[in-house]
Structures are given as structure tokens and as C-alpha cells.
Chains A and B, each alone.
Chain A
């Protein structure tokens, strides 16, 4: 498979910070993958998504998207290629679900133009795909946590990106909502979108991912198929605590036993 995302010798330090986040980071994610990035807090997972998005630029090294150097894309081209579901999306005003989802059409609407009926149709299709079309006229502030996350994903889908980045989309969600989100993402992935999500949940990652990246202290410890990556030894090295891995009904369960 071709790499749709490739980072080569990337070095990144936050402005004013003494410690670098990444030094000489290499990573490639295959086209059409459902990739999950696992690692402890503060290891640079969000920063990695920002680098792929172009929201932050590396001081050294190169980022390739679909084989083209990131700097060669215009802002508009980038926004059609890569979508983002951020970790916390604070919406200051009481938008309706449909008005909010329509924002996903911004890459296709000129700065002085208004959304067309076609844009409304695509936004509605995105809401239907994640199963919340019936909420379209509700206020976004009145939704539950799970519904809200689905709407944010629908907004990113209305963008019709080839690559969808999600920053811990299942954090703060209960089991059924978590599975609902993962199911939507898997369907989306099967239709050809490359999904890259960060997570704290190895069990969820093992259930949906076909490509797993283990990170610690800004370094990629291992990247590859879940079967190869999910070993007690590698997960223990990632999290710095003993991790046990069990296989149960074709699912991989990884956990840190309480002693």
C-alpha cells in the first residue's frame, strides 16, 4: 500500500519551550488505513495530528500527504484533503445542528459566498450517515455528549476529506456511545476514507484499527498491524507499566492489572 501520510525526519519544538516534542520522527500511514495512535498523556499525539493537518509546521523535516509535500497545497486544497475532529470543540453560540454541520462545507464555499442547496443536501447526508439527521433543527447546546460527538464527526464528513483526523473521539463517552462512534468510523473507513485517531483505549484500538502506532516521549515505538503490535512487551514499554494482553472471542484485550 502507498503511504497517504508520511513524516520524514520531523523535528518539532513549541515556541519558547526548552524541550522538543519530536526529534527525527519517521512515520508513514498507508492509504485507506484505520490508524490508531496510542501512547501515554503528553507524548505528542495531538501535536502529531496538528503536524499532519498543517496547523503546526515542523522546524526540520518533511510532511507528505498523498505523495505531495504539504507546503505545496493551498489552504483550500488542504481543507478538502484533511478533516479534523478536535478534542474539545467549544461552540460559543447556540447553532442548530444543521447550521453547524454546514460549516463543514466551508472548503467548497468562497469567503464571500453562502451555502447552496447542494451544500445543505451534503450536510444532511453526513448527518444521516452518522445517524443523527433527526436532530438537524435542534440546538447543538441541547445535545448529549454522544450525540454532540456524532454531530462534530458529521461536520467533518460534510467536508468530504480523504483523511479524517480525530483527537480522542471516544474520551468521556459511555460504552454504547463509544461503540456507536467506532462503528460509524469503521463504516466510513470501509468506504475509502483514511481514518487516523488518537486514543487512550487499547481495547477500542484493537477492535477497529488495521494499523496501530505506539508512541512514547515523542518517538514511535512500533507501527504496524494490530496482531504484531499488541504484545504485552511492546505495550508495557509504551505505557511504562506492566500490561497484560488476552485474546477473547477474536478480540484483543489489553489491560494494566491492579496489584
Chain B
């Protein structure tokens, strides 16, 4: 009987290999794909002979495609993690005040310092973290409901506070210089990614993703009720806090560079569970790779479809919501058919 299970594990392992190879190929193609001398792929010969093409690929496209990949991975992994620890498949990475906090921080920076890159990124990161801390502290003071409900409620409240703060800043912003910057940041995009920005978030993103990947089987346990998780030897509150810190760290870091990019962290974990089942041991690596692919595809479209840049956040929302509708209205094929 467990032969069925091993076959199943092998199938997932094979799909993971396909996804990994697919992502690597896509990364390579994305670095060559662009609008340099018309929408086209740079051929290796062109790249070899044209110093401008080389500089374009090395200093602009490569950090951008790597950042897109990291963005998708970070959002998908933290979305999966948060859905597991909050035992709710509709949770997404920005919900504990992270997205709105980051938006508020970025808007503040744009108002105070103009578009100095590290000021925007730093303040976005700071306020994203503050959003989580405030949500946490507020949740401890809510006087009813279980811990999960309290966190969700306080996340909604803190997000709304930051959103109204952003509203005020937009109202007082200079409509010719500051307002467009704020609006464009909130629509999300990777147009301004440089090597230094990419490298600056790696010390946060890489350890966070490592923690999530190593803990992934344990996440199953944390998705159970308190009594069950406790009876199986977990320290649910402490272990959830560790997973939460990792997920929020990864999200806040990538969002501080990209601006608000929605739906990736909600939809990709759902797609991964469709492919690999609910067990996070298998579905989390699948989500990680699919997140990278999803964000890369969206970003490629964003930078090449029109002559001007399309905001990445609008594209991820469009594709994400479309896929979500498709997924929610079709039956889950994998489990019942394998009996």
C-alpha cells in the first residue's frame, strides 16, 4: 500500500525537477528577452559582439530577472507558510500590516527624501516590520476570540490605519512630482532594480527562505489545532512565531524593493497544493519554484508588452485573480482520483 505513496513521492520529485529546469531556462531566456532593438531575444553572437548589449544584460536585466525570481519565491513561500500557521488558505503575505506598512514607509520616504533609493527601501522595510509588531501587540490586547482570529483582526485594523496614512500623504503630496512616485510605487514594479538593491536584501531573504524550507514538514503540524499540535510535542506558539518571523522577513524585504505586488503569495500556494497536495514537505518547494516562474513571466510581460513599463502589481493581480477564479471553480483532481 505504501508503494502508492512512494510512487506519488517520486512523481512530485520529478515535477520538482521539471520546474527547477524550467525556472533556470526561463531565467536565461528572460535575461536575453527584451526591447533592445525591437522586441526580441538577444542571440549569443549579438551579446558577444555588442558591448552595449552586454552592459544592458549585466547591469540592468540580470539583476532585474533575479529580483523577479526572488520576489516570486519570497512571496510564494511566505504565503504558504502564513496560510499553514494561520490555518486559513485565504491569508496572504501582506495581511499583517506588512504591505500597507511598506507602502506608508515608501510614501513617507518619497515625501521626505524624494526618490533616494535606499531611503524608500529602508523606510518601507522599517514600516513593514512596524506593521507586524503593531498587529502583534494589538492582538495581545484584543479581549475575545482565539489567537489566530485576534491576529487577523488586528492585521486588518493596522492595515487600515496605514492605508489611511497613505491616503493623507497622497492628499498632501505634490501632484506633479511626489504623487506619481507614490502611486507608481504602490502599483509595484522592478524597473529600478540594481545589483546593490538586490544584494542588500539577500541577508534577510536567504535566511528567511532557508528557515521556511527546513521547517516545512513541521508547518503541517502547526496547521493542526492547538491541542493536537501540543500533544504531538510541538510548542505551537513559539514555533509559529519563528515561522511567522521568517515569512514576514522575506515578504518585507522583497516588497521593500518591488513595491506592492499582490496575489502572488495567495494564488501560487493554491496552485502548488493542486499539484503536490497539501503536505508542505512537497508543496512548499513546488510553490517556491512556481512563484519564481510566475513573477518572472509577469515581469517579462510588464517590461516588454508595451513601449512603457506596465506596473508589475497590476499584472500579478490580473493573472492571479484570473487563475484564482479558474482554480476555485474547477474540482481538485489529485486526491480522489488516486484511490
Do A and B actually bind? Answer: yes
- Cβ contacts B199-235/A at 8 Å (1 or 0 each): 0000000000000001101101101111110111111
Q: Given that A96-B277, A96-B279 are contacting pairs, would A137 and B231 also be in contact in the complex, using a CB cutoff of 8 Å?
A: no
Q: Given that A84-B228, A112-B215, A113-B217 are contacting pairs, would A94 and B335 also be in contact in the complex, using a CB cutoff of 8 Å?
A: yes
Query: How far is it, in angstroms, between the C-alpha of A53 and the C-alpha of B234 when the chains are bound?
Result: 13
- Whether B233 and A95, one on each chain, are in contact in the complex, defined by CB atoms closer than 8 angstroms, is no
Stretch at the interface among A25-33, A34-42, A98-106, A230-238: A98-106
- Whether A136 and B2, one on each chain, are in contact in the complex, defined by CB atoms closer than 8 angstroms, is yes
B215–chain A nearest beta-carbon distance, Å: 6
Query: How far is it, in angstroms, between the C-alpha of A97 and the C-alpha of B251 when the chains are bound?
Result: 32
* A124 is an interface residue with CB less than 8 A from chain B: yes
- Whether A94 and B227, one on each chain, are in contact in the complex, defined by CB atoms closer than 8 angstroms, is no
Q: Given that A75-B233, A103-B221 are contacting pairs, would A84 and B4 also be in contact in the complex, using a CB cutoff of 8 Å?
A: no
- Cβ contacts A62-84/B at 8 Å (1 or 0 each): 00000000000001101110111
Query: How far is it, in angstroms, between the C-alpha of A134 and the C-alpha of B332 when the chains are bound?
Result: 21
Q: How many residues of A contact B (CB 8 A)?
A: 46
Which of B1, B220, B234, B273 sits near A94, CB closer than 8 Å?
B273
- Whether B2 and A124, one on each chain, are in contact in the complex, defined by CB atoms closer than 8 angstroms, is yes
Q: Given that A86-B228, A111-B239 are contacting pairs, would A79 and B1 also be in contact in the complex, using a CB cutoff of 8 Å?
A: no
- Whether A138 and B233, one on each chain, are in contact in the complex, defined by CB atoms closer than 8 angstroms, is no
Which of B1, B232, B234 sits near A133, CB closer than 8 Å?
B1
Query: How far is it, in angstroms, between the C-alpha of A94 and the C-alpha of B279 when the chains are bound?
Result: 9
* B8 is an interface residue with CB less than 8 A from chain A: yes
- Whether B335 and A96, one on each chain, are in contact in the complex, defined by CB atoms closer than 8 angstroms, is yes
Query: How far is it, in angstroms, between the C-alpha of A61 and the C-alpha of B220 when the chains are bound?
Result: 35
- Whether B2 and A120, one on each chain, are in contact in the complex, defined by CB atoms closer than 8 angstroms, is yes
* B87 is an interface residue with CB less than 8 A from chain A: yes
- Whether A137 and B221, one on each chain, are in contact in the complex, defined by CB atoms closer than 8 angstroms, is no
Kindly list chain B residues whose C-beta atoms are within 8 Å of the C-beta of A84.
227-228, 231
Interface-centre pick from A79, A94, A114 (highest chain B CB count, 10 A): A94
- Give 5 closest A-B pairs by Cβ, nearest first: A79-B233, A84-B231, A139-B335, A93-B278, A92-B87
Interface pairs (22), CB distance under 8 Å: A50-B227, A53-B227, A53-B231, A75-B235, A86-B228, A90-B225, A91-B224, A94-B335, A98-B2, A99-B279, A103-B224, A111-B218, A112-B215, A112-B218, A121-B2, A124-B2, A124-B5, A128-B1, A136-B2, A136-B5, A137-B5, A138-B339
A→B interface (CB under 8 Å): 50, 53, 55, 75-76, 78-80, 82-84, 86, 89-96, 98-99, 103-104, 106-107, 109, 111-115, 120-121, 124, 128, 133-139, 142, 156, 159
